[in-house]
């Protein structure tokens, strides 16, 4: 497994791979790798000849300095995980490489960045769009792979690629979960045992809403009320947002669901133990598919 630290070196390697007719898949990460990241690597392997992973904790997407400081950094374990997973190359740039002195250019992405995480984390998605653009230009991949757990991020990146005409395929990979249903996240390590137990409320709320929609429920407000009741059972939880949005545009879902809608959640958990630092913010989502009345469908 090769390690590269500069954009120039990475671009030279990308040019050589492309000249040889080999497909490159890039898996952008901020490190602290877990089973969810390895699922991205596995998906990348299925659609390319070479799998590259980038590890860079991007300061531009943190609106809270404490969140940036507390983000887990486990480089040696990350490199070992990449080796075991069969990654061909790891890109390890420093902050000065990705944001050289005097760097002033940022990528804004419009309305997709405004709701959900964008509302509670100002500037976050401009930071995401900027670093993803830089990584795509540096690695020149044929495919870039992202997790569906970050639903808004994935939608934004797809829009970015479409609007700028990047010659890359964006692949989304379903959320990987723990046996009890909790979505795997680098932030889970900050939960104390009780908060970790209660954090499964997110998945239970999603599952309950999915069951209701499968049974014919299409009323947006009733669905969201049920979600909030389920999360309220977790005493350490505080909802940041629980919203239903159009799965394609992220516009607010209508009062009666008629098209695929993403149920998006962000919930803060008090870690209980002060030594573990600040509250932990977890996100999760699922796409709901309203059941249409068969009598209204043409025969």
Catalytic machinery residues: 37
- Phi, psi angle pair for 163, to nearest 5°: -70, -35
- Interatomic CA distance for residues 298 and 296, integer angstroms: 7
Place of tokens 């990584």: 135
Is residue 123 classed as helix, strand or coil in its secondary structure?
coil
Is residue 182 classed as helix, strand or coil in its secondary structure?
coil
- Interatomic CA distance for residues 269 and 259, integer angstroms: 32
Tell me whether residue 43 is exposed, middle or buried, using C-beta atoms within 10 angstroms of its C-beta: 0 to 12, 13 to 18, 19 or more.
Answer: buried
End-to-end CA distance of the chain: 58
């Amino acid at each position: 497994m090769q390690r590269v630290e500069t954009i120039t070196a990475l671009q030279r390697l990308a040019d050589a791979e492309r000249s040889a007719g080999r497909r490159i898949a890039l898996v952008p990460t901020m490190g602290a790798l877990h089973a969810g990241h390895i699922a991205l690597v596995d998906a990348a392997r299925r659609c390319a000849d070479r799998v590259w992973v980038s590890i860079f904790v991007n300061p531009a997407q943190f609106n809270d300095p404490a969140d940036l400081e507390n983000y887990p950094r486990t480089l040696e374990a990350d490199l070992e995980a990449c080796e075991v997973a069969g990654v061909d190359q790891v890109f390890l740039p420093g902050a000065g490489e990705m944001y050289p002195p005097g760097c002033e250019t940022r990528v804004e992405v419009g309305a997709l960045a405004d709701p959900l995480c964008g509302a509670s984390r100002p500037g976050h998605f401009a930071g995401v769009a900027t670093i993803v653009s830089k990584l795509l230009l540096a690695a020149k991949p044929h495919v870039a792979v992202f997790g569906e757990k970050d639903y808004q991020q994935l939608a934004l990146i797809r829009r970015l690629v479409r609007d700028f005409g990047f010659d890359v395929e964006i692949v989304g990979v379903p959320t990987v979960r723990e046996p009890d249903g909790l979505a795997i996240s680098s932030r889970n390590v900050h939960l104390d045992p009780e908060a970790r137990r209660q954090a499964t409320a997110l998945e239970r709320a999603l599952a309950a809403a999915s069951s209701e929609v499968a049974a014919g429920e299409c009323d947006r407000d009733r669905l969201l009320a049920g979600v909030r009741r389920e999360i309220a059972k977790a005493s350490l939880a505080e909802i940041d947002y629980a919203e239903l949005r159009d799965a394609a545009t992220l516009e607010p879902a209508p009062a009666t669901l008629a098209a695929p809608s993403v149920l998006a959640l962000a919930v803060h958990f008090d870690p209980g133990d002060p030594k573990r630092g600040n509250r932990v913010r977890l996100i999760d989502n699922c796409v709901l598919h309203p059941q249409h009345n068969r009598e209204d469908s043409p025969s």
